[in-house]
């Protein structure tokens, strides 16, 4: 099967005739990544990041990997730091890190393949991510306002309602929502299986009764009218029976948030971040939030342990704002210094995820 980059409509960079050019090595590298089952989004982001770098090199007469030294990479880092977009804003720290990380992985591969004698990107100093809290978090009232907006008199409105309820109930990533199948839900046990999430890992997480009810209504009353022979098992479909793209889903959710007139901006990740924040505030242990979100570990903490789905379901029922919260606190609600530190780390990690999502949707 041909690799995507080999048939990419994107223009060539540099001397295509030179088999040892940065560009031709990039094509081989991306094919290697794809053959080893890296996520398509990751391969695509690497290609975009490497194209930025190779174009920069080409403008300076640098054509081959052997010509790239550590000082040159440090010059590129400074270029990224000083770069201003069309709106006069600098690149975010997350974008800068993403660009450099792709280059580092590329040169690690080049060194292992003996295309260069050493890796000039080894031990590069990466831009530091500050410990920031998100600018916008939705309140329960604001979320309910958004959830009330889809037109339930139309099939697509019912679909949108089911998708929004799922994002709110589970905090799953937008790509995970799009790849749900009709067989992903266990309505009796109140759980959803996410296949091949980030890192190509499966996970089983709880989902609330209200979300399940709307999914069932969409499945029974709407999906059959949208599905075609090519739809397969994909749960949420477009009007033409296709899987939604990440950009289309993000735009759809963003439009609902704007229509809610709550003076806040965001898209799918706003539900993910808000759910995690609310469950933390309601006393959920950081380990359970990790399991819900699909984070194997959180930087600066060593708190991850295996979480049983039944216990996770109990915690979800007790702390998710979509359910009635018990008046008496549970034994797991005491939050010591380590829990607070871990909570801050988790929220900061979610903020980095949101920035990566934004980077994927727009050309910096």
* Domain boundary residue, one of 112, 127, 152: 112
Residues 144 and 265 in one domain: yes
- Residue range 269-306, pLDDT digits in tens: 899 888 888 888 888 888 888 888 887 654 423 333 34
**Domain, as residue range, for 57:** 4-112
Residue at 323 is within a domain: no
Residues 199 and 261 in one domain: yes
- Which DSSP state fits 21? S
Single out the catalytic residue among 79, 83, 187, 304: 304
Measured from the Cβ of residue 362, the count of other Cβ atoms closer than 10 Å reads: 8
Residue at 303 is within a domain: no
Single out the catalytic residue among 25, 159, 179, 198: 198
- Residue range 152-166, pLDDT digits in tens: 999 999 999 999 999
Residues 145 and 101 in one domain: no
Read off the pLDDT of each residue in 200-217 and give the average, rounded to a whole number: 91
Residue 189 to residue 146: CA distance in whole angstroms: 27
Tokens of 275: 């759910």
- Residue range 224-248, pLDDT digits in tens: 999 999 999 999 999 999 999 989 9
Instruction: Please indicate whether residue 198 is annotated as part of the active site.
Output: yes
Instruction: Please indicate whether residue 273 is annotated as part of the active site.
Output: no
Residues 80 and 191 in one domain: no
Tokens of 336: 């010591």
* Domain boundary residue, one of 245, 275, 305: 275
Single out the catalytic residue among 295, 313, 316, 356: 295
Q: What percent of the chain has pLDDT over 90?
A: 55
Residues 144 and 258 in one domain: yes
Residues 153 and 252 in one domain: yes
Single out the catalytic residue among 45, 97, 173, 313: 173
Single out the catalytic residue among 27, 174, 179, 269: 269
Instruction: Please indicate whether residue 173 is annotated as part of the active site.
Output: yes
116 closest CA partner among 99, 101, 100, 103:
103
| Total number of domains in the chain | 2
Instruction: Please indicate whether residue 295 is annotated as part of the active site.
Output: yes
* CATH code of the domain containing 259: 1.10.443.10
Instruction: Please indicate whether residue 272 is annotated as part of the active site.
Output: yes
Residues 168 and 248 in one domain: yes
């Amino acid at each position: 099967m041909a690799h995507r980059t080999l048939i990419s409509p994107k223009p060539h960079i540099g001397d295509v005739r030179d088999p040892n050019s940065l560009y031709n090595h990039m094509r081989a590298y991306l094919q290697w990544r794809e053959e080893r089952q890296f996520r398509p989004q990751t391969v695509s982001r690497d290609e975009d990041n490497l194209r930025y770098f190779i174009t920069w090199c080409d403008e300076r007469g640098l054509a081959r990997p052997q010509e790239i030294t550590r000082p040159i990479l440090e010059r590129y880092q400074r270029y990224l730091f000083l770069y201003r977009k069309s709106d006069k804003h600098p690149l975010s720290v997350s974008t800068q890190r993403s660009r450099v990380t792709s280059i580092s992985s590329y040169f690690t591969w080049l060194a292992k393949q003996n295309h260069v004698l050493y890796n000039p990107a080894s031990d590069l100093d990466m831009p530091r991510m500050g410990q920031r809290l998100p600018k916008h978090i939705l309140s329960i009232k604001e979320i309910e306002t958004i959830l009330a907006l889809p037109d339930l008199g139309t099939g697509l409105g019912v679909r949108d309602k089911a998708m929004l309820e799922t994002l709110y109930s589970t905090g799953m990533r937008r790509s995970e929502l799009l790849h749900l199948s009709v067989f992903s839900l266990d309505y009796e046990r109140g759980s959803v299986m996410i296949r091949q999430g980030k890192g190509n890992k499966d996970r089983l997480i709880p989902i609330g009764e209200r979300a399940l009810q709307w999914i069932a209504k969409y499945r029974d009353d709407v999906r059959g009218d949208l599905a075609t022979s090519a739809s397969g098992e994909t749960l949420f479909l477009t009007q033409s029976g296709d899987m939604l793209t990440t950009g289309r889903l993000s735009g759809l959710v963003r439009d609902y948030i704007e229509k809610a007139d709550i003076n806040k901006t965001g898209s799918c990740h706003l539900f993910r971040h808000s759910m995690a924040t609310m469950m933390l505030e309601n006393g959920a242990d950081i380990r359970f939030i990790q399991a819900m979100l699909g984070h194997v570990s959180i930087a600066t903490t060593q708190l991850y342990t295996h979480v049983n789905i039944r216990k996770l379901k109990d915690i979800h029922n007790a702390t998710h704002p979509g359910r009635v919260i018990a008046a008496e606190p549970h034994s797991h609600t005491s939050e010591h210094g380590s829990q607070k530190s871990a909570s801050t780390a988790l929220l900061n990690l979610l903020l980095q995820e949101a920035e990566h999502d934004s980077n994927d949707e727009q050309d910096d």
